[in-house]
Amino acid sequence: MLSTVARGAVRGALAVATTVAMTVSGASVAHAAAPRLALTALSFEQSDVDVTQGFAANKLTWTVTNTDPDAESIGGTVTMRMRSSVTGALVGHDWVANYEFGSTCCSDAAYESGTPQESTYSFYLPVRQYADATTASWEVTKITIAARGTTKTIGRNLLQDYGYRFTAHTLVDSSGPRADYISLYNSHPPYLYVGDGPNTVNYDLTVQDGESGFWKGRVRFAGPHGQSISTTFTWERDSNSTGFHCGMSGGGDRDGTYMPCTVSITLPAGAAAGSWRIAALVLQNNAGGVATYKNPTAPSITVTSNETMRASDFVIDPNPVDNWRDNVRTELSMNVTGARRGVSGVSLDFGIDGCRMWGTPTVKDDGRIAVQVSVPRGATRCRVEAIAITDGAGDVSLYGTGFDAPDPGLAITQIPSTEAPVALGATLSPSTQPASEVGMSSVRLTIQAEIKVAPVDETEIHVYDADGNVVSQSFGGASQDADGTVQKWLYLPYFTLEPGEYTVGFRLTDASGLSSAWNMPDRPNSRELPGGPLVFTVTEG
């Protein structure tokens, strides 16, 4: 056992400064003002913790110092792990507690007291109830201290002089984790293009372990000719929140009893074409228990480099399309070579643009493979993001950014609208009302407009008095009939229009956003309505 003097000497050694130095003419000269960061105290509240009856936590308290008198903050991390009493090895996921001067937030370490020059923090470490034996030890494996761009890391060897560990009395976890339903990430088609570079396939699964919790896993992905790829995965704490993620999947809990995971498997260039599958899934829990699943139920994928079967000369016809008023169809066709036992299927993906494949592929008289595409009304552009072609022998050929495959750059576009709406005339019915009925009964405005590429879909209507002042206005959506007619109802204020003549002007806007104004004196570029102004007369009574 170290004497008091010796212990003080060791702790003094641990407080050695982290200095910043510069070299002048070959000599190393230290900056006198360089800050020194140090750990001066560390201990767990209890040396033994019994979790056999349920949850328990052990409070860890530590103190850090900074010799910089101008420092306004200090912080860092404390990493803790469990050590097996059977193997003597560290086992299970670590606990990392962030600490920061003045902070008591968000399930991390709490600031207890002090200044940026000397401050104390605490963290309640949840002790796992299960291990690989009836006892296990927990220990602090690393501490970082950071302030004003300087960081000091204190490893396990230097921590042993402090109360860095304690013994936990635990239940024995004798089973491994369980994997639930395995699927392709985001319902991705079961194909992967691997050409001159690597490509990645992602699988979703959920891991559960109700005792010690899930720690990490490994997947062996097997393909033709004895080729295989092994990939490891685990879960991590989110960097900007108190949540967790395992690969691209978020969620789960801090004990790992339930953890959604996305496993990314990268196949290198030259990976064999054909069927690849998950041949083995190995899961390990925080007690070190292992569960191995050979050939688990999971979708296989077909890998291709487009060497066996290829498509070329992609054509969309007609293109652009006139879908301003209704859904329309167009055709995408291609030449396919190398298909064995004929082309059995074609699938298209347009992302979020709204277009979709219609029906099944057909063979045209010239041998080209063709598919129909439904284009929704109003869609301005549909980009073909992915094309998958399969043959009767199970070969596949892939194209487009959706597969990270060669992209033919296909897009369905809309016929452009270049001319603003043109009004041919308009009528009011009725065109006269007594003052007592204004606003009480409807007045219909019927506008006759030319049939242009884009239909009228919005109107703005103003009612003007004899001095050109706007006394009423309304705007909103509209529809244009097949004969060009647009019908709207005037909004007239109740009982506030004096007897006299009022004129009506309007603005027409089409589905492309082009607009024109008619008989609107308060609008620039307003045009005279053919047939003269629209006059609404309010009479006495």
pLDDT value of residue 242 = 74
Least confident of 2-6, 398-402, 494-498: 2-6
Indicate whether 27 pLDDT > 80.
Answer: no
Same domain, 204 and 327: no
Element (H, E) at 9: helix 4-14
Same domain, 220 and 326: no
pLDDT value of residue 243 = 84
Write out pLDDT tens, residues 265-285.
999 999 999 999 999 999 999
Write out pLDDT tens, residues 320-341.
999 999 999 999 999 999 999 9
> Does residue 509 belong to any structural domain of this protein?
yes
> Does residue 418 belong to any structural domain of this protein?
no
Given pLDDT bands bounded at 50, 70 and 90, which one contains residue 392?
very high
> Does residue 463 belong to any structural domain of this protein?
yes
Average pLDDT over residues 385-407: 97
Per-residue buried b or exposed e for 289-309, using 16+ beta carbons within 10 Å of the residue's own CB = bebebeeeebeebbbbbbebb
pLDDT value of residue 33 = 56
Give the total number of structural domains in the chain. 4
> Does residue 109 belong to any structural domain of this protein?
yes
Same domain, 185 and 140: no
Average pLDDT over residues 349-372: 95
Range of the domain at 231: 178-304
Same domain, 276 and 335: no
- Final residue belonging to a domain, choices 367, 382, 413: 413
Same domain, 264 and 235: yes
Single-letter amino acid, residue 363: V
Same domain, 270 and 195: yes
Given pLDDT bands bounded at 50, 70 and 90, which one contains residue 255?
confident
- Final residue belonging to a domain, choices 368, 387, 413: 413
Q: How far apart are CA 521 and CA 517, in angstroms?
A: 9
Classify burial at 375, counting beta carbons within 10 Å of its beta carbon; exposed 0-12, middle 13-18, buried 19 or more: buried
pLDDT value of residue 108 = 86
- Final residue belonging to a domain, choices 114, 147, 172: 172
Q: How far apart are CA 520 and CA 18, in angstroms?
A: 77
pLDDT value of residue 483 = 96
* CATH number of the domain within which 373 lies: 2.60.40
Same domain, 506 and 478: yes
Same domain, 142 and 197: no
Please identify which residue in the block is written with the tokens 């109003």: 378
Alpha carbons within 13 A on the beta-carbon side of 168 = 32
Same domain, 21 and 164: yes
* CATH number of the domain within which 237 lies: 2.60.40.2550
Average pLDDT over residues 118-143: 98
